[in-house]
Amino acid sequence: MTDLDNIENTTDLVKAIVETYDGDSGINFIDVTNLPVREKIMSILDGLAELLFPGYRGKRIVTQANVHSIVSDILDTLRGELAHQVSLALRHECRMKDCPTCDCETMASDITERLLGKIPQIRRILKTDVQAAFDGDPAARSLEEVVISYPYITAIAIHRIAHELYLMEVPLIPRIMSEYAHSMTGIDIHPGAKIGKRFFIDHATGVVVGETAIIGNNVKFYQGVSLVAISIPKDAQTIQGVKRHPTIEDDVTIYAEATILGNVTIGKGAVIGANAWVRRSVPPGVTVMMAVPETRYKHNNANASHKG
C-alpha cells in the first residue's frame, strides 16, 4: 500500500467517524467548552486531601511553624481551580436547561467558599471514621497506618466532599469525584448517600451504596456489601429523587457479600450475616443469617465422602 493509499484511507475513515457525530446528544462535546475536566477535578481532590490529612501526601514538609502558611497557600490555589470547574459545570447545566441569565461565576465562587468552609466539619467526622477503622480492625497498628494505607479512608474522604457538593446541587462534579474514588478503591458510594460518623468498611472491596441510602452512626460493613434498589423501571429517569435504597440505623454490622434491597430499614443494633439477601425491614437488635450450608469432604483417593 502506498502513502497515497494511506492518505485516502485515512481521509475516508475520518469522514466516516465524523459523520457519526451528527445528531448526537450528550456523547460528543463539539463547539462548546463548558464542561468540567476530570483531570482537574482529580487535582482538586489531591489538594483537598492535603487539607484533610496534612503531611500525608508527601508533597510538602508540614511543621507547626509553617502549617498556617501551607494551609493558606492550598486554599488560595483551590479557590481559583475549584471555582473555575464549578463554573463550567453550572454553565453546562444552564446550556442544557436553556437559562442563559444565570451568573454562573458568582454562584461558583459562593459554592467554593461554602465547600471550603465545610473542611473543619469534614475533618472532624473523618477523625471518627479513622478511629472506627482502628478500633474495628485488630490488624491495624496505628492511626497513621489506617490513613496512609486503607483504601476505605480515601473513599470516605472523597465521598464526604462529594456529598457536600451534591447537597449544593452542583452538577457533574460530585459524580466525577465518586467514580474516581470507585476506580481507585473498588468502593462505589453515590455522592447522594447520607453517611453518619464512625463508619468503617473492613477489607473495603466491592461495596455498593446507592444514591438514596441513609447510613447512621457506628455502622460497620465488610467487603461486598450492597445497598441497592430492588428494581428499576425501563425509564429510570421517572424515579429520580424517589427513596429507593435502604436505611441503616445506628450500630448495625453487615457482613461480607450481604445485599440489602429497596427502601427498607435495618434497625438499630441489628446484624446482617454474610451472603444474606434482605428484602424487608429488620427490627432493632435482630440478627439475620443464611441457613448454614452443608459442607462435604471428598477424599481424592477414594469414592467415599462424608459430611461436615
* pTM for this entry: 0.87
**227: domain CATH number?**
2.160.10.10
At residue 305, the pLDDT reads 53
How many whole angstroms separate alpha carbon 209 and alpha carbon 225? 8
At residue 1, the pLDDT reads 65
pLDDT, tens digit, 9 for 90 and up, residues 140-198: 999 999 999 999 999 999 999 999 999 999 999 999 999 999 999 999 999 999 999 99
| Residue 21 placed within a domain | no
Residues 6+ apart with CB under 8 A from 143: 130, 131, 134
Total domains in the chain come to: 2
Instruction: Examine the domain organization and report whether 268 and 210 are in the same domain.
Output: yes
**β-strand pairing of 200-202 with 296-298:** unpaired
Say which amino acid occupies 112.
T
Over range 77-86, report the average pLDDT: 96
**Position 307 pLDDT exceeds 80:** no
Instruction: Examine the domain organization and report whether 227 and 262 are in the same domain.
Output: yes
How many whole angstroms separate alpha carbon 146 and alpha carbon 22? 50
**Position 281 pLDDT exceeds 80:** yes
Instruction: Examine the domain organization and report whether 39 and 168 are in the same domain.
Output: yes
| Residue 183 placed within a domain | yes
How many whole angstroms separate alpha carbon 61 and alpha carbon 297? 57
| Residue 43 placed within a domain | yes
**Position 282 pLDDT exceeds 90:** yes
Instruction: Examine the domain organization and report whether 172 and 214 are in the same domain.
Output: no
Look at residues 132, 158, 189 and tell me which one is the last residue of a structural domain.
Answer: 189
pLDDT, tens digit, 9 for 90 and up, residues 123-152: 999 999 999 999 999 999 999 999 999 999
Instruction: Examine the domain organization and report whether 211 and 178 are in the same domain.
Output: no
| Residue 1 placed within a domain | no
At residue 30, the pLDDT reads 63
At residue 6, the pLDDT reads 74
Over range 42-66, report the average pLDDT: 89
Instruction: Examine the domain organization and report whether 69 and 183 are in the same domain.
Output: yes
Domain region containing 176: 32-189
pLDDT, tens digit, 9 for 90 and up, residues 216-261: 999 999 999 999 998 776 776 667 778 999 999 999 999 999 999 9
Say which amino acid occupies 295.
T
**122: domain CATH number?**
1.10.3130.10
| CB of 264 closer than 8 Å to CB of 280 | yes
How many whole angstroms separate alpha carbon 272 and alpha carbon 281? 11
Instruction: Look up residue 7 and give its three cell numbers.
Output: 492518505
At residue 102, the pLDDT reads 72
| Residue 168 placed within a domain | yes
Residues 6+ apart with CB under 8 A from 76: none
| CB of 78 closer than 8 Å to CB of 111 | no
How many whole angstroms separate alpha carbon 181 and alpha carbon 191? 11
Instruction: Examine the domain organization and report whether 131 and 44 are in the same domain.
Output: yes
Instruction: Examine the domain organization and report whether 43 and 161 are in the same domain.
Output: yes
